[in-house]
Amino acid sequence: MTALRRLAASMLFVLTPVSWAHLPAAVDGEPLPSLAPMLEETTPAVVNIATTGRALVAENPLLQDPFFRRFFDLPERPRERQTQSLGSGVIVDAEAGYILTNHHVIRRADRITVTLADRRELAATVVGSDSETDVAVIRVEAGGLQALPLANSDELRVGDFVVAIGNPFGLGQTVTSGIVSALGRSGLRLTSYQDFIQTDASINPGNSGGALVNLRGELVGINTAILTPAGGNVGIGFAIPSNMARSVMEQLIAHGEIQRGRLGVSAQDLNPDLAEAFGLGERSGVVITQIEGGSPADKAGLATGDIILAVNDRAVRQVSDLRNAIGLLRVGETVTLRVNRNGTTQELDVLIAEPELTTLQGERASPRLAGARLGMNEQRVGTDNVQRVTVLEVEPGSPADRAGLREGDAILSVNRLDVTDLREFRERSVGQQELLLHIQRGSGALFLVLR
């Protein structure tokens, strides 16, 4: 029997009004197509993630009035309630216990519990988290873990079959299938760095952080979001490509944070009129509109009006491609840009520099500082004005707020080491189990211990 006749025969069985329990295991001696063998190998690497944290309880506006609180002798500290959330994760290193998930799954979690496919429950710690790509790495300590290999997501094509594995609605591990509907999706207001895989495989609440795999059982993406008008799945889901997740993961494991570099250019997409004005036969690349003086781009010889065509041989079709390519490079890396200048194509090597640090989110220095935003402000010291690391704002109920930090606090030292700028403050805070902060508050000073 030809392959076509065998396919028709198998379709006949599917269309026949009989229960699935009575479908044959084989047709003409050949087994029916099934994803089961692949899933038996991949599903043990996908885990359930449950978190608990704290959030402020909404109050009557009257209770937020300081005079009203003092009059009725009400406590100043806002009331809180415990929060719980569910998500998914993917084991990517069985020996070290590293698990990839979404930043929003573990954001502000006080406790993270990972449930494996074999029902073991393990406490997890945060290795690092990046809100700008929505990627996080957590770690568990256990034996007998199984990891998924990461595929090269650049090789994905629209129409490739994919399978989403996760924990939607807290029901337990669930598998859905579909195809890659589109690649390189951006402009979704989900994250700062966007290069999403779009799929019609169902991705529902709780699938966040789960695996998007190809038919070889390799990880091609981390499920992150759905586009829906009514809160349910309508066949438009998005996943972070495995190459982007791998790049972020490697930095988080190595440094606990992302050390994004700076190129120092402003650019815009090419429309048909601009492409014609620059003498381009096709709309390919982005045009440089401005260059920062003294920046890596300036030092490398880039000029306003140059058309950037590629970064390290990866094509640049729009500004988001350039932003993603540079944003995922490490500080100190040398990148090769292919540019079109006055009709001539040339390559320029650029050394990526560290960005200027003007503000710092507290969690980028330490989880104990989450909820605080720090910057540099002038403080009066004797007869002089001195720039000092200053708490610009503190989110009520956050770890920084509970630790006692207040807006306007100037931080003089960390663990008895003086700090003079944000970079120094971050370097002396990252990875510390305990922070002893020396703080100037108004005309006085105090020490705070953050554990």
List the catalytic residue out of 104, 129, 195, 429: 104
List the catalytic residue out of 10, 129, 153, 208: 208
- Measured between alpha carbons, how far is residue 197 from residues 158, 221, 235, 304 in Å? 9, 7, 13, 32
Contact present, 388 and 406 (Cβ < 8 Å): no
> Among this protein's residues, is 295 annotated catalytic?
no
Contact present, 406 and 392 (Cβ < 8 Å): no
List the catalytic residue out of 85, 129, 134, 401: 134
Residues 6+ apart with CB under 8 A from 433: 451
> Among this protein's residues, is 255 annotated catalytic?
no
Of the candidates 260, 414, 343, 363, which has an alpha carbon nearest to the alpha carbon of residue 53?
363
Of the candidates 217, 252, 236, 263, which has an alpha carbon nearest to the alpha carbon of residue 133?
252
- Measured between alpha carbons, how far is residue 322 from residues 164, 193, 312, 346, 357 in Å? 29, 10, 11, 17, 21
* Burial zone of 241 (CB within 10 Å; 0-12 exposed, 13-18 middle, 19+ buried): buried
> Among this protein's residues, is 19 annotated catalytic?
no
Residues 6+ apart with CB under 8 A from 449: 434, 435, 436, 437
Give dist(CA 285, CA 101) in Å, integer.
32
Residues 6+ apart with CB under 8 A from 152: 242, 243
Give dist(CA 164, CA 143) in Å, integer.
25
Please tell me the total number of residues recorded for the chain in this structure: 451
Give dist(CA 129, CA 141) in Å, integer.
19
Sign of CA dihedral 273, 278, 284, 287: negative
Amino acid sitting at position 254:
A
Our measurement of the distance from residue 32's CA atom to the centroid of its chain's CA atoms, rounded to an integer in Å, reads: 39
Give dist(CA 354, CA 37) in Å, integer.
47
Catalytic residues, which ones? 104, 134, 208
